[in-house]
Structure 1
Amino acid sequence: MDEKSYNFLIIEDNLGDFILIEEYLTENILNPRLTRAETFLSAKKILEDKANHFDIIFLDLSLPDLSGEQLIVGVLELAVGTPVVALTGFSDLDFSIKSLGLGVSDYLLKDELTPIILYKSIIYAIQRSKFVDQIQKSEKRYSDLFQLSPLPMWVYDLETFHFLNINQAAIAHYGFSESEFLSMRIHDIRPEEDIKLMEEAVADTRKGIELKPKTVFRHKKKNGEVIFVEATTNPLVFNGRSSVLVLVNDITERLRYVNTIEKQNETFREIAWIQSHVIRAPLARLLALVNLLETEIPETTEECASLIGHINDSSLELDQIIRDISQRLENIVSIQKNEA
């Protein structure tokens, strides 16, 4: 005996059928709580009351005010995720299939109904509803992560190359509208000369060869601007199609910064070379002349000796200044290279 608490809404105009369903339920469920509605309008009133919560809705497909497909659609719109089990006295295979397609959890014939069949249908419908709810929540989490990502993301078909899904960041960054993206192939955002490289990468993906993380490609925006991006890809099945999820990071500005730093470094190296070679060459000659004066003209006046000494000291001081500047330039080049 199932001791769980169940709330059932039974939409049934026939009192005898309602009593029979009640008896069948009590054979396997200890204390089922039943609410009955005899017409669609009365059921509508019950379902619109937010205070009511039901685990299962049993629906007779022939009510005084509504029947068939219209009745199913109307109840499903009101049920809002509550499993609906259709009950009928007529065997119609085509309509039973159509009913399941509309969203009912099960389709039971009253003449073939037994306590165990009814109980199994309840358990199946509740478990199926939980499973569907989990799938929907998982899909919503994926959709939220996809759409709320600050980086451009899209899904493309591995066979046709067509875009299948695109997030808002990609729409904003590339300039194409969603409808434009979904009518395009991934070829359309590549420079012509890069398409062969792109097709080779896709061919590797088809073979199961993973793309190296943060592989750099060139992409083309709607306005014709060519950008450099790091691409990360993951294969997945999207709407039954073999597809690839792509996340890209525009590194164009970073590369421009690195190129600027490299040019600055080259300039600094040229300055350091000029200081260490061009400027220091005449300075070295000046120091040699001072040394020559000190050695070749030993007998000089005190005033002359003092003057030679000042020239020598100034030359040595200038030499040290040039060395310091060269060292600092080398340090700047080294720091900028590490930052880049």
Structure 2
Amino acid sequence: MIIKENKGLKILLVEDNPGDQVLVSDYLYAEFSKLNLDIASNFKEAKTHLTNNKQTYKIILLDLSLPDIDQSNLIKEIVVCAPNTPVIILTGQDDIHTAIQALTLGCTDYLLKNEISSKGLRKSITYAFERKHIDKQLELSVKRYQQLFQLNPQPICVINSSTGEFLEVNNAALKKYGFTKNEFLKMRIHHIDLNYAKEKFNQHISEEEILKNENLHEHILKTGKKIKVKLYGNEIDYQGIEATLLMALDMSETQSYISQIEFQNQQLKDIAWEQSHLVRAPLTRMMAIINRLEKKHFEDMNEVDNECSYLLKNVLSSAHEIDSVIRSIVDKTSNRNK
């Protein structure tokens, strides 16, 4: 990984020994041509730099032995002051327990002063940037999946694959089932699904079976109401636990929507049929009257009134056109409901 921060790389060196300050500074300037280095001789100065400096430090090089704070609290305080900045420990103590503690508290590396070289220091800083980059990507990934989990409109839960205990639920599940999150986390899947079995949740169910509400899971809401659901699941690792991610689709709602649509379609069909007959009856009479008037016109008059004949023909043509439109509407309504 190329350190882009090399252009104006800003580092804070926290070191009380003047000789070590010079040595580490020389190593840094030898490796980084555009270096912005600040030096603090104690924790108070370091805290001032971290809290007052407008430009964020990219790296903190920290000596564990400072005159104004004990070692056990030093790392914690530095991490509090600069939670997003990689910290590399510089120490003369070859103590494995101290090293483990430092790394546990969030430090990225632990270097012994008598073994430091310019190349080794550069390598440690490069590693710190790589680790920070990976940590940021993981953090963004976790946030992204948490958002997808919580904002999904369908009820989703994570259960322990062995015990059936709820490990996590999303907001849609809380709303659908009526339980609080604390209540869910004290329950098992069998409290809402009496017949739940891990091997059943991913079985294939045909559309016909769904419409008939067959082979679906029956879930019990907090109110005692029972709903039919289709479960989709995947095996996942959840914080080191073998778990199952389950999504529940409420087929009771789907069945209700289908019934409503079928009812509305039947109503439209009935309305179209009734209206077509109501409109066609007077239209048929009008067409018969026009035919009679046209016939009478030619029988009673020696000379044809061209204007009257033209008007009668147009009225009759319009009547036939309206009749065709009515028939088309009835045919379309009938085909839609087949």
| TM-score in terms of structure 2 length | 0.71
Distance 1:65 1:131, change over 3 A: same
In structure 2, give the amino acid aligned to 1:217. Answer: H
Q: Structure 2 matches for 1:191-202, cutoff 5 A?
A: 192=194, 194-195=195-196, 198-201=197-200
Please report how far the alpha carbon of residue 183 of structure 1 lies from its aligned counterpart in structure 2 after TM superposition: 1.7
Gaps in structure 2 of 5+ consecutive residues: 211-215, 267-329
Counterpart in the other structure of 2:246: 246
In the superposition, relative to structure 1, how do residues 262 and 141 fare at CA in structure 2: closer, same or farther (>3 Å)? closer
- CA offsets 1:49-85 (integer angstroms, 9 cap, x no match): 3612111100111112113121000101111211000
Distance 1:332 1:122, change over 3 A: same
Preserved CA contact (<8 Å) 1:105 1:125: yes
- Matched residues in 1 for 2:47 and 2:132: separation? 21
Distance of 1:17 and 1:153 partners within structure 2? 56
Equivalent residues in 2 for 1:101-250, closer than 5 Å: 101-190=104-193, 192=194, 194-195=195-196, 198-201=197-200, 216-250=216-250
Q: Aligned partners of 1:37, 1:265: CA distance in 2, in Å?
A: 79
Contact map agreement 2:3 2:129 (CA 8 A) in 1: no
Assess, with a 3 A threshold, how the Cα gap between structure 1 residues 56 and 46 changes in structure 2: closer, same or farther.
Answer: same
Q: Which amino acid aligns with 1:172?
A: K
Deviations 1:11-35 (A, max 9, x none): 1111111111011112322232201
State the TM-score, normalizing by the size of structure 1: 0.70
Contact 2:62/2:89, CA 8 A, preserved across alignment: yes
Of 4-13 and 41-50, more deviation after overlay is shown by: 41-50
The one-letter amino acid paired with 1:129 is K
Corresponding residue of 1:43:
46
Gaps of 5+ in 1: 267-327
Q: For residues 137 and 50 of structure 1, what CA distance do their matches in structure 2 show?
A: 27
Name the count of aligned residue pairs: 271
Q: CA deviation at 1:151?
A: 1.9
Q: 1:333 to 1:261 in 2, by over 3 A?
A: farther
Equivalent AA in structure 2 for residue 219 of structure 1: H
**CA–CA distance in structure 1, aligned partners of residues 190 and 73 of structure 2:** 47
Give the CA RMSD over aligned residues.
Answer: 3.3
Mapped to 2, the partners of 1:334 and 1:181 lie a distance apart of: 48
* Matching residue's letter, 2:33: L
**Deviations 1:289-315 (CA, angstroms, capped at 9, x unpaired):** xxxxxxxxxxxxxxxxxxxxxxxxxxx
| C-alpha separation in 2, matches of 1:254 and 1:66 | 65
User: Is 1:2–1:28's contact at 8 Å kept on the other side of the alignment?
Assistant: no
